[in-house]
Structure 1
Amino acid sequence: MALRKREQEIAFQLAKQVSEMYLADKDDRKPWLFPQTLAITKLRKGHCRPYATPIRWEP
């Protein structure tokens, strides 16, 4: 249950950042776009897979 809550929090925060950075104008925050942005964020997260081990980069 806690993991599910955490996933929802991450999706919400990511959707908020996308809305603020890419959709909002200076004079209009366009809050009506947030539900669609959240839905897209959740769909996209479903296509990403976590790495089993950390990726190491060595120059």
Structure 2
Amino acid sequence: MSILKNNKLTPTKIISIITDNSPVDVYNLEVSKTRNYFTDGCLVHNKNPYRFVNEAGSIDNPR
């Protein structure tokens, strides 16, 4: 994982993961070309939505 620190991309280790099953709003952001973006200082990316197919054999796409 990488974080943005002092305007530089800095690799960092994940030292723990906390699971929280509370309902939350989620968003599917689309960024052209790389699909990478920063959120809360962390570099993240979206997966290709067409790569995953549901059990019925169709693609879930809310558009």
Highest relative contact order (Cα 8 Å, sep 6+), 1 or 2?
Answer: 1
Bigger proportion of residues as helix: 1
TM-score by length of 2: 0.21
TM-score by length of 1: 0.22
Larger relative strand fraction:
2
